[in-house]
Amino acid sequence: MSKSNHFLNGTILQQAITASFVKLDPRVQLRNPVMFAVYVGSILTSALWLNSFSPSASESPWFVLAIATWLWITVLFANFAEAIAEGHGKAQADSLKQSRTTVVAHKLSNPSDRSATAVSATDLQIGDVVIVKAGETIPLDGEVIEGVASVDESAITGESAPVVRESGGDRSSVTGGTRVISDWLIIEVKALPGQTFLDRMIAMVEGAKRQKTPNEIALAILLAALTLIFLLVVATLLPYSVFSVRASGQGSPISMIVLVALFVCLAPTTIGALLSAIGIAGMNRLSQANVIAMSGRAVEAAGDIDVLLLDKTGTITLGNRQATRFIPANGGNDRDLAEAAHLASMADETAEGRSIAVLAKHQHGLRGRELEQIKPHFVPFSAKTRMSGVTLDGHEIRKGAAEAIEAYVRDLGGFLPEDVRTTVQQIAKSGATPLVVCRDSKVLGAIELKDIVKGGIKERFTELRQMGIKTVMITGDNPLTAAAIAAEAGVDDFLAEATPEAKLALIREYQKGGRLVAMTGDGTNDAPALAQADVAVAMNSGTQAAKEAGNMVDLDSNPTKLIEIVNIGKQLLMTRGSLTTFSIANDIAKYFAILPAAFAATYPSLNGLDLMHLSSPATAILSAVIFNALIIVALVPLALKGVTYRPVGAAQLLRNNLLIYGCGGLIVPFIGIKAIDVLLALGLG
């Protein structure tokens, strides 16, 4: 998927300009009450321009035409802001649509004999089983039930490196539209045509199913209420003006064109014009981070997150435990321990098993043996026994968790030496994982496996703490190991020996306290917790159940992406708040431009409000209207890019907002309106 950050490229710009005129449809304008009021005002001023040619008209046709033109421009600029934000989503959707092709699927009537029938992918149903060989495209979303293969997912993720998909575990989910590049897969279909993950991605980035978030709806209601209030205020000014002229015997009643101009300038048009664009741009920024949000609500919720649940392995640590030390029992021999550990690891293809062999070779020069000659009987690791090993020359060599080995040697009449027990505790306290090795009933010693904490992760957690976000590490390790790693990584809390039930209970506990919780997951066992979390990020490499339970999917399958998602959510909220502050503040300058121009003839004392010393009443009013339009298009890049977020406290954020966008909103209009007035005076002169 495209990750372009060019907001104003030629194609999108051209499409946005065209869409700006298409969106003049009244049915479209009615969706935004603030801009609909400006739209009606534009129609009214256009009618007033035609009427200005009559002898009874009080305003010159050029002035009315200028006001009408700039009101239409204001509406077009608002449409442009929304259209250019939508344009980025549509560009991303177009790139995704290119990968959506009609695929011939090979349906298996009986998976055991591999007899396949060629059918169209559109004819497949949920539960159907298909075989996909190297070079073929996966027809629909599904779960791998047999086989291991490399899959090219670049059409969806944008990453060229293939990924491994296999049956069982957390890498069994496949996406329709991706391509198998080696071996074969037997897949059970889990989605109907038109309802695949790719289809949902296209719909979301296009904005076709974008729903306004609760905060966005609340702000829209507030802006509509303010617009209504200003409408009522402006409506009362006409009879007031007529009465004032009669009572004072000087001046002339305010004209309808001036009333419309005053209303448009006082209404919160700036934020009203940019509100939709801000929401769409937030979704786009998430898409550029290779995350697909299934709802805008989730993006917004990410900005309000209080608690962050993170897996230890692969998120906080590198997820690749390595053997670092052999620690023999008292009276034992270091080489003897290393040799036994090496033999027990010969059939262990895990990263831990290979690291034991590497360490034995490095420290003692031990090398692999010809298996045909020694004729070993390997015992694979299982979750039930929590150990593995080999039976060789009548000896049973085992390595595994301390509790499992202790129970094993006790059954054989042996025991776990106290010094080994102490060593195990020390390894666990240091944040490493201990393995104990035995030969028959004799315990030979322990192996230290260390999972390295990722570089820079502690600083990231410090930033989150400054944001007011509590970080909780989730791990299956024992409490001692979990505590040590938690301290090294700098997380606020941890959940050790975590089970799906424990995760779910922890999330509910935080939510009962009124906190919003975010977490990541990739397995079927994570689905209940993901469904309960307020922001649930499922890994694209994970199971179908996890992706269906989450409200976001990370296409890169990077658990640390959750931190970036929180930043994007906060940036969305900050952008909306900052531009709202600016919009309300910049209306103040317009009072000093339009009110003296409209009423100074009747009330000369109002000339004191003309702080900008504008050239004439006509240029004053027109300058305010022009500035009101131009500020919208000037703020479009900021609305699309978003306000830069820095991890500081809420009080500091508020101060920065008021200082930059509050004071900026007060000062900029005075400068802008005065500059436009000078240019108008020069042009008219």
- Residues acting as catalytic residues: 311
Cα–Cα distance for residue pair 511/535, rounded to 1 Å: 12
Question: By the 8 A CB rule, do 132 and 152 touch?
Answer: no
Q: How far is CA 342 from CA 181, 357, 360, 451, in A?
A: 36, 5, 6, 20
Q: Which residue type sits at 424? A: V
Residue 589, class by beta-carbon neighbours within 10 Å (0-12 exposed, 13-18 middle, 19+ buried)? buried
Cα–Cα distance for residue pair 662/202, rounded to 1 Å: 38
Q: How many CA atoms within 13 Å lie on the side-chain side of 27?
A: 1
User: What's the 3-state SS for 600-640?
Assistant: CCCCHHHHHHCCCCCCCHHHHHHHHHHHHHHHHHHHHHHHH
Cα–Cα distance for residue pair 97/103, rounded to 1 Å: 14
Cα–Cα distance for residue pair 481/475, rounded to 1 Å: 9
Q: What SS3 state is found at 477?
A: coil
* Residue 281 Ramachandran class (φ > 0 left, ψ -120 to 50 alpha, else beta): alpha
Radius of gyration of the chain measured on its C-alpha atoms = 34
Q: List CB contacts of 72: < 8 A, sequence separation 6 or more.
A: 42, 46
Which has the closest alpha carbon to 132: 167, 158, 98, 161? 167
Structure tokens at 327: 């620690």
Is the Cα dihedral 627, 629, 633, 638 positive or negative? positive
Q: Which residue type sits at 267? A: A
Q: How far is CA 684 from CA 8, 71, 151, 616, in A?
A: 34, 20, 68, 11
Structure tokens at 193: 């045509």
Q: How far is CA 376 from CA 350, 385, 395, in A?
A: 19, 20, 10
Which has the closest alpha carbon to 281: 653, 652, 674, 643? 643
Q: List CB contacts of 679: < 8 A, sequence separation 6 or more.
A: none
Cα–Cα distance for residue pair 320/474, rounded to 1 Å: 17
DSSP code of residue 555? T
Place of tokens 């289809």: 199
Cα–Cα distance for residue pair 529/526, rounded to 1 Å: 6
Cα–Cα distance for residue pair 568/557, rounded to 1 Å: 17
Cα–Cα distance for residue pair 400/412, rounded to 1 Å: 16
Structure tokens at 503: 């995760």
Question: By the 8 A CB rule, do 180 and 136 touch?
Answer: yes
DSSP code of residue 523? S
User: What's the 3-state SS for 422-451?
Assistant: HHHHHHHHCCCEEEEEEECCEEEEEEEEEC
